[in-house]
Amino acid sequence: MKVYDWLVVGAGLTGAALSYELSKAGFSVLLIEENQDSANATRFSYGGIPYWSGTSPLTTQLASEGINRYHELSAELDQDFEFRNIDLLLTIASNTNPHTTRSQYNHFAIQPQLLDVNAACELEPMINPEAISGAIHFNHAHVNPQLLVKAYLSGLSAHGGEICLDQVTGFTREGVSTLKSNYFSKNMAVCAGGIGRSLLQNAGISTRLCFTHAEVIETIPSELTLRSLVMPAVSERFILESQSSNLDEVWNYDNYEVSPPSIDVGAIQFKNRQLRIGQLSMAHTNPHLERDLKQSEISIREQVNKVLPAIASVRGSCHHCLVAFSPDSLPLIGTVAGNIAGNIAENIYLFSGFTSPFVYVPTLAKRFALSVGGNFDPLISQLSPQRFGNS
């Protein structure tokens, strides 16, 4: 009977990065992922790295470490994950005062530039000038999410970590049960994205992990060229996250629409010329909710046609995933208070709920691995899931 030091559930960005860092720190690691094709939030993400987005000493330090960690990882993982600088254009709706919208960005550590319509369209000719009153411009960074995960998983294997295709169905004090077997481990980390909430709930562990249902169109490779990453300056998704997470009690209902669907017109093109176009977000407590993806695709294309008309009709298909977040936009990292067969489950950890995971996960995965190796980290302890006082 093999007993691992760490068993990690989920091979999206959070699980892949955490498994890699734990194995690099010298722990024996088993990573369990239920989906062969990993059609998860990481898979459908834009992969943008908002290293400018610190708003407090904690997040400013982490964002700065985050971008530096990518430079290290490029050499350390020795695989190309298409890390690059990119212009981020946050479009301001034509009926909105650009200066008022710009002022909403005053609290960020790195300040953006406000562009008028001409300057915005010069930077991104795909934008319809009639649809905007200006745009906010940040120097942004970008990776290919699938290639980044692949690079982390190769690094995990190189350090002796193991990966297994199976579904975790429950926790015991000694490890996890899965569809196929039982695995034994001294510690477990839940990196299961939006499903993490119900997975822990089934084990009698409550958390403040919330999630949105997200839908995005992935196109075939296109002859068109989108130079920048485009998103709206006022993000419906972030408004939805901040409003819906405050309604803690409703998240305990089984089948409840916390917030109706809304669409943020955004797009990114990858090196293989495929576009991801989105995104529709809604908050509903049922992670297995059946969605009409044909209808979502029509709705997304209608909205995209207003701002980025040339790409709105590029052939593609609509996909669904769950995106985890927390009530205060900070990740949930640390042991979860729980009760399994009468014993507090101090060896079950959460590493999830990141609002901007691409900037924070690489550095926090490394910090976490060092902290559980015995180097107390005051930054990690500030992110404990127990900061909300859940039982």
| Interaction site with ligand FAD (CB under 6 A) | 9-15, 32-35, 38, 40-42, 44-48, 167-168, 191-193, 195, 199, 214, 216, 278-279, 321, 323-324, 352, 354, 356-358
Q: From CA 264, how far away is CA 269, in angstroms rounded?
A: 16
Strand partners for 361:
none
Strand partners, 334: 350
Indicate the residue whose CB is closest to ligand FAD.
12
| Triad 24, 157, 182: Cα angle to 5° | 100
Residue 130 C-beta: closest distance to ligand FAD, Å: 25
**Which CB atom, from 101 or from 356, has the smaller least distance to ligand FAD?**
356
Of the pair 117, 161, the CB lying nearest ligand FAD is at 161
Name which of 47 and 327 has its Cβ closer to ligand FAD: 47
Phi, psi of 239, deg, nearest 5: -65, -45
First to last CA, the chain: 33
Nearer to ligand FAD, 128 or 167 (CB): 167
> What is the number of alpha carbons within 13 Å of residue 96 lying toward its C-beta?
20
CB closer to ligand FAD, 92 vs 321: 321
- Closest approach, Cβ 323 to ligand FAD, in A, equals 5
Query: Could you tell me if 34 and 167 are in contact, meaning their C-beta atoms sit under 8 angstroms apart?
Result: yes
Q: Which of 256, 259, 264, 273 is nearest to 216 (CA)?
A: 264
CB of 32 to ligand FAD, least distance (A): 5
Nearest to 202, CA basis, from 243, 244, 172: 172
Q: 33 or 117, CB closer to ligand FAD?
A: 33
Please classify residue 264 by burial: count the beta carbons closer than 10 Å to its beta carbon, then call 0-12 exposed, 13-18 middle and 19+ buried.
buried
C-alpha closest to that of 193 among 209, 207, 205: 209
Smallest distance, ligand FAD to C-beta of residue 315, A: 18
Nearest approach, Cβ of 38 to ligand FAD (angstroms)?
5
Nearer to ligand FAD among residue 96 and residue 235 (C-beta): 235
Cα separation, 24 vs 78, in Å, equals 15
CB 235, min distance to ligand FAD, A? 11
Cβ 99 to ligand FAD shortest distance, Å: 26
42-61: burial string, b at 16+ Cβ within 10 Å, e else: bbbbbbbbbbbbbeeeebbe
**What is the DSSP secondary structure assignment for residue 110, as one 8-state letter?**
S
Distance CA 23, CA 7 (A): 11
Closest to ligand FAD by CB, 126 vs 268, is 268
- Nearest distance in Å: CB 95, ligand FAD: 25
Tokens of 171: 């926790």
Least distance to ligand FAD, CB of residue 374, Å: 26
Closer to ligand FAD by Cβ: residue 251 or 351: 351
